[in-house]
Amino acid sequence: MVTAEDEDDLTYRVNESLRRIDYWMENHCLELAPQKTEAVILKGPSGAVKYLGITIDVRGSYGCHIINVAKKAENRAAGLMRIMPNIRGPSSGKREILCGVVHSTILYGAPIWCEALRIRRYRTMLEGVQRRMLLRVGSAYRTTSPVALQVITGVIPIDLMVEERRYLYEMANGQELAIRKAAGGRVLNLWQRRWELNDEKGQWTKRLIPDLRPWVTYRHRRIDFYISQFLTGHGSFGTYTQRLGISENAFCVYCGEEDSPEHTVLYCHRWAPYRIAIYGELGFQLTAETLVAHMIEDKRQGNTIGNMIRTIMQDKEKERRAREN
């Protein structure tokens, strides 16, 4: 990329750049193929051109590319979201595959434009598109934070996906399996570090899932509308509805204690029969610190705990509607 204020200066700078490129290639026993080489001039009010699917602007910032790709990914996401209602619809596994369509749209050419994500505005654009898709992947409430959505769905933050693509590109295009595994482990470590430093959003989710790797790599992870309420704390809980101004207080209608996700699933006497049934089957009691660990310890065990949470949340919602009617 060569910039200049006038034609003579541009010509000089281009020739000097080509001389340096030619010298480097000659020293490495390589040769340019002129018939396969193009010069693209950017000028005028637009100041940008699309070349091989990448929008290049005169400043070399690739900001125009991110703006365009965010709009394109948003349109694709809107179409896919229509077939992913929070209740029923595709399984969480199929939702993740559909989410991959949007990610592939965003990530095209990522090693080229990755530096643009240093600018918060562009990073926020892509995070917004990913968040809207993850709301449907996790069948979650719209108030759920991006950090919690990424964790419960096991989907890497979009900026770390871009970083992974850049790393693989620099490591001989990342074709070797060992390199790809190393890149995946590196990104998980970066994500874990970010999760540990987060002290604002998703703190209940963080308490349930402090260590990302076992949860993210668990093949039988299944999320639905009711499980996501418990994992995020956004749903049919007094602590949530009071925060939004929907209810006047956060007290449980059954026992008067604070109606949090922890209280509902693990302590409320109204749902004690549900817990007693599975405690007898599993042979141990659950706490907020051990519940997720036990879910991913064994597929059958995970299904049992998941079914308990789902049944409690479903019945709680039915009884709430009955009281309101």
**155, part of any domain:** yes
**309, part of any domain:** yes
Greater pLDDT, 101 or 180: 101
pLDDT score recorded for residue 197: 96
Residue appearing with tokens 């590319």: 65
Per-residue model confidence as pLDDT tens digits over 34-90: 888 888 777 766 677 888 888 888 777 788 999 999 999 999 999 888 888 888 788
> 156 and 202: one domain?
yes
In the predicted structure, residue 137 carries a pLDDT above the cut 70: yes
What is the domain extent for residue 287? 235-324
> 69 and 200: one domain?
yes
Task: With beta carbons less than 8 A apart as the criterion, state whether 51 and 67 touch.
Answer: no
> 44 and 67: one domain?
no
DSSP per residue, 138-164: TT--TTS-HHHHHHHHTPPPHHHHHHH
> 163 and 283: one domain?
no
Cα distance between residue 309 and residue 226, in whole Å:
7
**65, part of any domain:** yes
> 95 and 201: one domain?
yes
User: Where does 267-298 have alpha helices with state H?
Assistant: 272-282, 291-295
**296, part of any domain:** yes
Per-residue model confidence as pLDDT tens digits over 251-302: 999 999 999 999 999 999 999 999 998 888 888 899 999 999 999 998 999 9
| Number of C-beta neighbours around residue 323 at 10 A | 8
> 26 and 95: one domain?
no
> 252 and 275: one domain?
yes
In the predicted structure, residue 172 carries a pLDDT above the cut 70: no
> 13 and 125: one domain?
no
**227, part of any domain:** no
> 208 and 96: one domain?
yes
In the predicted structure, residue 314 carries a pLDDT above the cut 70: yes
- Side chain identity at residue 135, one-letter code: L
pLDDT score recorded for residue 175: 65
| Number of C-beta neighbours around residue 81 at 10 A | 16
In the predicted structure, residue 4 carries a pLDDT above the cut 70: yes
Give all strands (DSSP E) within the chain, no chain letters.
Answer: 48-51, 54-57
> 23 and 122: one domain?
no
Per-residue model confidence as pLDDT tens digits over 92-103: 888 988 999 999
pLDDT score recorded for residue 174: 55
In this structure, which long-range contacts are made by residues 54-59, counting pairs with CB atoms below 8 Å and at least 24 apart in sequence? Answer: 54/108, 54/109, 54/112, 54/113, 56/1, 58/3
Q: Given pLDDT bands bounded at 50, 70 and 90, which one contains residue 157?
A: very high
Task: With beta carbons less than 8 A apart as the criterion, state whether 295 and 305 touch.
Answer: yes
Task: Determine the straight-line distance between the first and last CA of the chain, rounded to whole angstroms.
Answer: 67
> 243 and 123: one domain?
no
**177, part of any domain:** yes
Greater pLDDT, 105 or 84: 105
Q: What are phi and psi of 182, to 5 degrees?
A: -65, -40
In the predicted structure, residue 161 carries a pLDDT above the cut 90: yes
Q: What is the mean pLDDT of the chain?
A: 91
Residue 238: closest CA among 219, 208, 261, 220? 261
**222, part of any domain:** no
Q: How many domains does the chain have?
A: 3
**111, part of any domain:** yes
Task: With beta carbons less than 8 A apart as the criterion, state whether 104 and 195 touch.
Answer: no
Q: 3-state DSSP: the chain helix, strand, coil percent, rounded to 5? A: 65, 5, 35
Per-residue model confidence as pLDDT tens digits over 197-223: 999 999 999 999 999 999 999 988 899
> 212 and 80: one domain?
yes
Q: How many helices (H) and strands (E) does the chain have?
A: 16, 2
Task: With beta carbons less than 8 A apart as the criterion, state whether 168 and 183 touch.
Answer: yes
